A = this chain, B = another copy of it.
């Protein structure tokens, strides 16, 4: 290795697996030549350390860290924890000893990676020390880490001042401990002001992620599993893997920004590889995962990115990372999310002269839904207004200029159009506020807008409520009511900061089209009704184009249309007419691809106007049946019975049945080659709960041709 003269010393960026020795066990004071320790008080036995007890018993409950499955102590910063040190004799006021806390390679006092805590005459240390109790030779020491302290895995030493040097305890991995963010303490930048919030956003290890369309919201469970064995280490490993400087790891803003980059593998060998194709043969389909734990464990064990993710997987894993380290967080779903644009506010759908969508020229897509995270924090780098929930997005987006990271962006800055602060506010603003512009192109290739829809994008934002298993509508935190003075002010401000809007003046057309559909189960006939209404004072001949295509949640159609109808319709002044289209199961089931949605596009042209309407229909999935039996008690036998009947009239292939429950059952996956029509599968699995309290079991049935059937069940485990 060439010596570099760039640094006085390299910036330490590794927390786990520190192999070198920290100290010589006896370190003589400067100028001392005798290498044998000498008692500090002549005539009194030298004080030495006999044992150290990290007092997990009392500390874990006080610090709300009892659920972490680890032998080591887990505590939070800004809050006292207790360490018992047993000495060779009772301690007197003449004795001088200190605790030394070290993190990362090459710790240094002035980088706060080496912290000395005194209990004697010295003072001025960043961490407070206090002798809580002395019982004979055992002293209970209270230590309070600074509320800005670096978060991660610390090593600890007890050092006793001898007459001629410092005598330290041996390196002992059992006295290592984890220091986390502390949402319970007002001094901490991650302070969350109420217990219900902390219970949900920090301590809840299972959640719901919303999907589907704004009209047909569906949900799937996700086991965050932030307390499971090895997850805390995996989260610290993520920061080591990207060489995040240790000295930055107490700063929640930098931590969250790093995490948003590291959960995707785009430019830094991060956790997850995205895959939006139909071919997941080289890994696990995004729809098969039941939670984050197995992903993070796999990443930490191999050091290589895990295959495969789509947006909810990125969001699920990022949520685990955040909650695991003590940062309040939640997964948010934005319905009709404008995607991969460049921060301008135009999303354009292009139609051919005949009224059919021009799939080649249309470059933009609107995702039916997109999941990201919010993390709650004080933004010490910004004016106070911007503290609170922040958008963080781990899904890589090509157009954010090669930053495969996004956020933290203050939600309130998005709502108010104040896009001039870091990070990436303009980008998120466009995701919820883009205008949807319908364009038609003439024969020369010139394009003219004929409809501008300012309400389509960012229709609804949902997150799991704190009180139960339902959604909380948080649209109002991102957007003022459409058209309100506050909304107008927001849009004007956003334009000032470079978000360009479409300025074309498209008058409201005197013809309206409405699409509605009863979303049935996959395998049932689909009925779509389209209402045409002539709002003009003249009779109109309407040339109609209608097509139905299978579509992904990214808004990209999976194949050619399954049904196309072109017809003409006479409509008297102020008259309406309803047309019903039916799609039989035979017409659509084999074309669904890996997503059970259909896009209906209807265009109507008269002599003077053109109107188009697009609607995505998410089909319902058949139910999984779950029965629990046994005694819901820690360490007693329980059983989960999952059964499923294929009522769909076509065979399901490549089925994977996966189940997982934090504190109940580690991820289990069972494969079935085919489930024939009316075929039934059932599976009984035994397990023993490891933790008391309300726990959740999640089951997923994922087939090649029908992904993503999920079910959840709760069980109250007694101690």
Contacts and interface: CB of A to CB of B under 8 A. Distances in A.
A8 B362 contact: yes
Interface stretch (A351-359, A519-527, A578-586, A622-630): A351-359
A93 interface: no
A598 to B, nearest CB: 15
Interface stretch (A133-141, A320-328, A419-427, A633-641): A419-427
A422 B418 CA distance: 13
B7 A446 contact: no
Contact of A443 (B29, B268, B342, B353): B29
A257 B443 CA distance: 40
Given A401-B244, A420-B383, A497-B381, A8 B122 contact: no
Contacts of A447: 109-110
A31 B353 CA distance: 10
A163 B634 CA distance: 83
Contacts of A566: none
Nearest to A552: B5
B248 A5 contact: no
A6 B498 contact: no
Interface in A397-436: 398-399, 401-402, 419-423, 426
A110 B447 CA distance: 8
Interface stretch (A46-54, A275-283, A698-706): A275-283
B340 A556 contact: no
A363 B445 contact: no
Interface string A83-116: 0000000000000001000000000111100001
Contacts of A362: 8
Interface string A441-454: 10111110000000
A contact patch SS: loop
A377 interface: no
Nearest to A594: B5
Given A245-B401, A247-B342, A274 B348 contact: no
Residue with the highest number of chain B CB atoms closer than 10 Å, among A7, A10, A593: A7
Given A247-B399, A444-B122, A363 B6 contact: no
Given A398-B11, A422-B422, A556 B6 contact: yes
11 contacts: A7-B556, A8-B359, A8-B365, A8-B556, A9-B363, A11-B340, A11-B398, A243-B398, A381-B420, A381-B498, A420-B421
Given A5-B593, A30-B353, A254-B401, 11 more contacts: A2-B277, A4-B276, A109-B446, A109-B447, A110-B447, A116-B444, A116-B446, A248-B401, A380-B498, A382-B420, A420-B422
Interface of A: 2-11, 13, 29-31, 98, 108-111, 116, 122, 124, 161, 166, 242-245, 247-248, 251, 254, 257-258, 261, 267-268, 274-279, 340, 342, 346, 348, 350, 352-354, 359-365, 380-383, 398-399, 401-402, 419-423, 426, 439, 441, 443-447, 497-498, 552, 554-556, 558, 593
